[in-house]
Amino acid sequence: MATVAVIARYLGQAPIELTTLECPVRLSDADSGRARIELQQYLQGSKAANLLRMIPPDGHMVQG
């Protein structure tokens, strides 16, 4: 379980963020310096979202 935020962030505009608490995820290494995040459910959020932030229970944030 993790906290996952779907965010639309554009220059000159206030960010639009929708956070889902206790979201089932699978985090794995994709390559050097890259992570793969698999979500077990569809997340609602802005259609213009361009950023995903995931914080697992250990507090290590992954975003991109």
Domain range enclosing 33: 2-57
- Indicate whether 9 belongs to any domain: yes
- Indicate whether 16 belongs to any domain: yes
- Indicate whether 19 belongs to any domain: yes
Reported in sequence order, the residue ranges of the chain that DSSP labels E, i.e. its strands, are: 2-8, 16-23, 25-31, 34-39, 51-55, 62-63
pLDDT digits (tens, 9 = 90+) for 11-64: 999 999 999 999 999 888 888 878 888 888 888 888 889 999 999 899 989 888
pLDDT at position 21:
92
The number of domains in the chain is: 1
- Indicate whether 37 belongs to any domain: yes
